[in-house]
Structure 1
Amino acid sequence: MSKSAAILFVHNEVYTIGWWLAHHATIGFSTLIVCDDHSTDGTDMVLSNAATLYDIRVQSSDTTLSERLDRQTRFHEKALEQGRDEFDWMMVLAADEYLHFETARSVAEFTAAATTAMLPVNWCLFGSSGHQVPSAFSPIETFTRHGLLSLPDHRIVRHLVRPRQMGSSLPDPFSALERNATWSDSRVLHFAAGDHESFLRRNSSATPDKAWQNFDRNDAEYTGASRWLPESRRIASSIVQASLTDLYWRLKATVTHADRTVLQDLGLTPAQLSAPSSRRTPPQFHFCMLGQTKQLMRDMQTGSLVPVGAGDVNFGRYNPLVMALEVSDGDIWNACLFTENPLPGRYLSLPGSPTLLPMVPLHVMIAENTVLSPVSGEEIRIAIPDHALTKIDATTALYTRMTSFMVLTAEGHGLADFLRGIDRLPAPDASALGCAIAMLDPEDAGRLAQTFPGLIPRSLMPVRPPQS
């Protein structure tokens, strides 16, 4: 079996590094070799947690070299040299570069018939697709428009190389500038622009507008790489949930030891953790099925959500959806959506929700019968049959599915309430933890993310709900 490795040098890419790892694991690289250039935003924590799940070999850059380019070059050279005896193919990529095959199903299949020591793959420069602010979704899903093939930048190449046949020099990205670019069998999706806000933050060019115009290419649409998304989402979800599990244990230690330093960073005091709950009684929940004459269910064969009549239910194929609504005096109720029976996969896919959890956090505007994502603030259009939520009995099985979330939010949705819930929760439940974080006040969630960088993904960072 052919073995392959992707090589990445990275600095401060906390919100996208998980997607890069997930994508390149999906397309079949055996190993990901990543050098973190002393990131300060939590990138190292994402890498550390991901490395517990996959063959991701993480190292730090050589700080004896003062220039980042020199540290990067040194790492690339050593990675290729050290991989000669282990890997059949290796490839140097950047954090905004995603390798894609038009028809091949894996790196092994793409390289199987190769007769040369190097396989060049041309850039395909993607623009912002009109995005002004960062997105929690995969870059492949977010950015779908690119420049025309004739663009000179597309002559830049990345190489899949046989390390045993390589000399001492690194593959030259500019070695094919005299040849026309081709995307007939592969391309490197280059998300150089990204959204406008992130581009300006990353680039310190004296002429940022000119640089933006060069990279923001949106001439043609391409969605061929979406075929990798189901598996890359599954892998990304496992990375997200590993980080949330890590967060649980760190928060548990903070509460157990009343760590004043961490609590101060969170804007709290030990006294606030021991203060009595402001709630007189625990919150009440209504459990509902989605629909009346037909019920919305997850088709376990296709992963899609479909309305199913009572006479058509095949419980080997269909998994009913349940919405747990937290009763409130206001017009906006917190809610969690989950399948009645546990999913064999890592997350519940709901169009418009980026959360990558088995349980999806929601805001339900009762008067308007509208469902919003607490993360994006945008409406999630769930095709509920009959436009009806039908209340069902609150069984022991349903309460069991919600127990961890109920423990975390029993005293409210403030940060101190959340930490007291952590103290009572005996074991980590990444799904419940993620839902509870998505329902915090955005400022509280921001302090939590700043105190524990890299452990809370953008896909769970809440926005302020609309005023009721």
Structure 2
Amino acid sequence: MSKSAAILFVHNEVDTIGWWLAHHATIGFSTLIVCDDHSTDGTRAALSNAATLYDIRVQSADTTLPTRLERQTRFHKNALAQGRDEFDWMMILAADEYLHFETARSVAEFTAGATEATMAINWCLFGSSGRMTPSAFSPVETFTRHGLLSLPDHRVVRHLVQPRHLDNSLPDPFSALDRNAVWDEARILHFAASDRESFFKRDSSATPEQAWQNFDRNDAEYGGASRWLPESRRIASFMTQASLTDLYWRLKAVMTHADKPILQKLGLTPAQLSVSLSSRLQPQFRFCTLGESQRLMLDMQSGSLVPIGTTDTNFGRYNPLVMALEVSDTDIWNACLFVENPLPGRYLPLAGSPTLLPMVPLRIRIAENTVLSPVSGDEIHIAIPDHALTEIDSTVSLYSRMTPFMVLTAEGHNLAGLLRGIDRLPAPDASALGCAIAMLPFEEAERLSDAFPGVVPRNVRPARPSQS
């Protein structure tokens, strides 16, 4: 069987590195070889957690070389040389470049009929699609508009190469500038612009506004790459849950050792963790199914949410949805959405929610009867049959499903209470922890992310107050 590897040199890409890894695993690369150039934002931690799930070989850049370009060049040459005897095909990519095939289902299928040892694939430059701030969704989903084929930048190429046929030189991205770009069979989705805030934060140009104008191309709509999203989300969900499990153990250690430097970063003191500062009563939950004569269920075969009649007993295929509403005396109630029968190793797909967990955090505006994602701050439109939430009995089984979340939020939605909850929770529950983080105040969640870079995924961090 053909073996292939994607090669990546990366620095400070913590919020998108998971999507890059998930996408290139989805399209069929056997191995991902990644060199971290001493990132300071947690990229290395995200890579390490992902490497427990997939053949991701993580290296560190050679610090004896003074410039990033020299370190990158050395890594690229070494990776290609070391892969000659193992891989049939290899490809150098950047963190904002996603390989995409128009019809082929995998790298192996795309390269099966190759007659040359090198295959050049043109850039396709995607703009911001009007996005101003970072998104927790995949770039493939977030940025769907690109420049016209005639754009000169599209003559830049990346090469799928057979490493055993290479000499010591690297493939040249500018080797096809004299030829028109072609996207008939494949293209490199180049998300160079991303959102405006992230672009200017990178500060990689002496003339950033001019660079932004060059990269922010939104002339044509393209959704062909969305076919990779179901599988890339599935892989990304594993990475999210691995990171949150790692975070649980790190927080457990903080509670065990009363780590003062970490507590200082969190804005907490040992005294705040030793005694509960909350006098609120144990939160109460109301449990509802979505719909009355029909109920919204997860189709376990298709992965979609569908309305099913209450007399349909095919529960091997259909898994009823349950919403747990946290009773509040305010107009906004926190809620968690999950399926009646647990989803081990899977996530609940809900359009509009970036949270890749078996349980989805929500925020309900009771008076307006609207549902929001606490992570994106945007409204989520759930096609509830009959437009009805039907309250059901609060059974022991339902409460047991909520127990880890209730332990983490028993003292309210605040960071000190979360850590005391971690101390009481005997084993990690990534879904409960992700939901609890999503319901923290924005500033406290950001302090948690800063204290533990790389293990607090963006897709569980709450939106800025202005977004919610």
Name the TM-score class by shorter chain. over 0.9
Q: What amino acid sits opposite 1:45 in the alignment? A: A
- For 1:181-192, list aligned pairs within 5 A: 181-192=181-192
Q: What amino acid sits opposite 1:442 in the alignment? A: F
Q: CA deviation at 1:277?
A: 4.5
SS in 2 for 1:95: coil
Q: CA deviation at 1:232?
A: 0.3
SS in 2 for 1:311: coil
Higher mean displacement: 55-64 or 197-206 = 197-206
Q: What amino acid sits opposite 1:370 in the alignment? A: T
Q: What amino acid sits opposite 2:409 in the alignment? A: T
Hey, what does 1:83 align to over in structure 2? 83
Hey, what does 1:281 align to over in structure 2? 281
- Measure, in 2, the Cα distance between the counterparts of 1:362 and 1:75: 44
Corresponding position: 1:46 with 2:37: no
For residues 1-25 of structure 1, the C-alpha deviation after alignment (integer angstroms, 9 at most, x for no partner) is 0110000000000000000000000
Hey, what does 1:407 align to over in structure 2? 407
Hey, what does 2:113 align to over in structure 1? 113
- Check whether the contact 1:27–1:107 (CA below 8 A) recurs between aligned residues: yes
- Measure, in 2, the Cα distance between the counterparts of 1:467 and 1:120: 42
Where structure 2 has 5 or more consecutive residues not aligned to the other structure, the ranges are none
For residues 233-273 of structure 1, the C-alpha deviation after alignment (integer angstroms, 9 at most, x for no partner) is 00011001100000000000000111112111111111111
Q: CA deviation at 1:312?
A: 3.3
For residues 192-214 of structure 1, the C-alpha deviation after alignment (integer angstroms, 9 at most, x for no partner) is 11111111111342322211111
Q: CA deviation at 1:188?
A: 0.5
- For 1:142-157, list aligned pairs within 5 A: 142-157=142-157
SS in 1 for 2:99: strand
SS in 2 for 1:312: coil
SS in 1 for 2:194: coil
Corresponding position: 1:179 with 2:179: yes
Hey, what does 1:239 align to over in structure 2? 239
Hey, what does 1:60 align to over in structure 2? 60
Hey, what does 2:354 align to over in structure 1? 354
- Measure, in 1, the Cα distance between the counterparts of 2:465 and 2:217: 34
SS in 1 for 2:188: strand
Hey, what does 1:254 align to over in structure 2? 254
Q: CA deviation at 1:464?
A: 5.4
For these two proteins, the number of residue pairs brought into alignment is 468
- Check whether the contact 1:128–1:218 (CA below 8 A) recurs between aligned residues: yes
Higher mean displacement: 295-304 or 104-113 = 295-304
Q: What amino acid sits opposite 1:97 in the alignment? A: E
- Check whether the contact 1:320–1:339 (CA below 8 A) recurs between aligned residues: yes
SS in 2 for 1:121: strand
Q: What amino acid sits opposite 1:327 in the alignment? A: V
Q: In the superposition, relative to structure 1, how do residues 467 and 213 fare at CA in structure 2: closer, same or farther (>3 Å)?
A: closer
- Measure, in 2, the Cα distance between the counterparts of 1:396 and 1:435: 21
- Check whether the contact 1:248–1:428 (CA below 8 A) recurs between aligned residues: yes
RMSD between aligned residues: 1.4
- Check whether the contact 2:258–2:270 (CA below 8 A) recurs between aligned residues: yes
For residues 61-101 of structure 1, the C-alpha deviation after alignment (integer angstroms, 9 at most, x for no partner) is 01111111111000000000011111111000000000011
Where structure 1 has 5 or more consecutive residues not aligned to the other structure, the ranges are none
Hey, what does 1:200 align to over in structure 2? 200
Q: CA deviation at 1:375?
A: 0.8
- Measure, in 2, the Cα distance between the counterparts of 1:112 and 1:232: 23
- Check whether the contact 1:404–1:425 (CA below 8 A) recurs between aligned residues: yes
Higher mean displacement: 291-300 or 426-435 = 291-300
- Check whether the contact 2:442–2:465 (CA below 8 A) recurs between aligned residues: no
Q: CA deviation at 1:399?
A: 1.3
- Measure, in 1, the Cα distance between the counterparts of 2:87 and 2:297: 44
- Check whether the contact 1:279–1:412 (CA below 8 A) recurs between aligned residues: no
- For 1:295-314, list aligned pairs within 5 A: 295-314=295-314
- Check whether the contact 1:126–1:146 (CA below 8 A) recurs between aligned residues: yes
